[in-house]
């Protein structure tokens, strides 16, 4: 199991990281909300432990943004705020469990193990397939017909989002918000440039096209073979 701990108390984070590793669980650490959001978005984790009060971006905001981006990693919220209303707020923000401070590590470990056993939703699939095209979210490898295709990080995120929504039209606005995190004119050609580069890489030397431009709407990746 691989987990992410987003905690600004460095002493507490060091203790948790060591304790989890002794329990056979790989633990990464981020000390603020922005760094934690980036790590949780860019990497696949079985569980995220998020402190509610964080610098740069609070814990509930991190969770809400992860859910908006389609990241459904189970989240356990740690907080000194332990009233019923606080817990309800945390769960409604997208958290899966809520543990007030102070807590016993044995209970935290048990809760993490329960969350880690949950079956992933389609958004959490490790391997995406469209025809003979495969994308591995853990290894960041892309292959078509068994041949490895090297992509830049942005191209990988673009393809990942398209494959997650295979068979559906993905608009430019959706791509700007979920791949670029931009909120401006969807007519900008930055998307067309990246799609063109991506298409040349995944369709070069292959007779069956997969990535289609839907005129006036956006893009779709689909196997019609």
Q: Domain coordinates of the chain in residue numbers?
A: 2-116, 123-221
Sequence-separated (6 or more) residues with CB below 8 Å from residue 12: none
Chain-centre distance of CA 221, in angstroms?
Answer: 20
Confidence at residue 123, expressed as pLDDT on a 0 to 100 scale: 44
Q: Phi/psi at 9 (nearest 5 deg)? A: -80, 100
User: 2-116 architecture in CATH?
Assistant: 3-Layer(aba) Sandwich (3.40)
Chain-centre distance of CA 129, in angstroms?
Answer: 18
Chain-centre distance of CA 121, in angstroms?
Answer: 12
Confidence at residue 221, expressed as pLDDT on a 0 to 100 scale: 94
Confidence at residue 125, expressed as pLDDT on a 0 to 100 scale: 58
Confidence at residue 119, expressed as pLDDT on a 0 to 100 scale: 44
Instruction: Provide the angle, in degrees to the nearest 10, between the axes of the packed helices 190-203 and 153-164.
Output: 80
pLDDT under 70 in the chain at which residues? 82, 118-125, 181-188, 225
- Residue 71, number of CB atoms within 10 A of its CB: 20
Confidence at residue 47, expressed as pLDDT on a 0 to 100 scale: 94
Q: Render 35-76 in DSSP notation, one character per residue.
A: HHHHHHHHS--SEEEEESS-SSS-HHHHHHHHHHTT----EE
Structure tokens of 163?
């494959």
What is the fold, at CATH topology level, of the domain defined by 123-221?
Answer: Arc Repressor Mutant, subunit A (1.10.10)
In angstroms, the Cα distances linking 16 to 2, 4, 22, 74 are: 13, 11, 10, 18
Confidence at residue 122, expressed as pLDDT on a 0 to 100 scale: 44
Look up the pTM and report it.
Answer: 0.54
Spatial distance between the Cα atoms of 203 and 35, rounded to a whole number of angstroms: 35
Spatial distance between the Cα atoms of 202 and 135, rounded to a whole number of angstroms: 11
DSSP secondary-structure letter at 29? E
Spatial distance between the Cα atoms of 180 and 213, rounded to a whole number of angstroms: 19
């Amino acid at each position: 199991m691989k987990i992410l701990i987003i905690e600004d108390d460095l002493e507490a984070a060091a203790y948790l990281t060591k304790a989890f590793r002794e329990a056979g669980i790989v633990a990464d650490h981020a000390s603020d909300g922005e760094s934690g959001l980036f790590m949780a978005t860019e990497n696949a984790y079985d569980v995220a432990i998020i402190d509610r009060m964080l610098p740069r971006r609070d814990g509930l905001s991190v969770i809400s943004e992860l859910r908006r981006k389609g990241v459904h990693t189970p989240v356990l919220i740690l907080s000194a705020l332990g009233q019923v209303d606080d817990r309800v707020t945390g769960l409604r923000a997208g958290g899966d469990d809520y543990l007030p401070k102070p807590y016993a590590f044995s209970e935290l470990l048990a809760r993490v193990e329960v969350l880690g056993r949950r079956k992933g939703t389609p958004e959490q699939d490790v391997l995406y397939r469209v025809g003979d095209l495969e994308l591995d979210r853990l290894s960041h490898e892309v292959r078509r017909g068994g041949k490895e295709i090297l992509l830049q990080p942005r191209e990988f995120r673009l393809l990942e989002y398209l494959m997650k929504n295979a068979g559906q039209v993905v608009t430019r606005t959706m791509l700007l918000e979920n791949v670029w995190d931009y909120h401006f004119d969807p007519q900008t050609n930055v998307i067309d440039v990246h799609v063109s580069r991506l298409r040349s890489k995944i369709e070069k030397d292959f007779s069956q096209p997969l990535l289609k431009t839907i005129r006036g709407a956006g893009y779709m990746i689909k196997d019609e073979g």
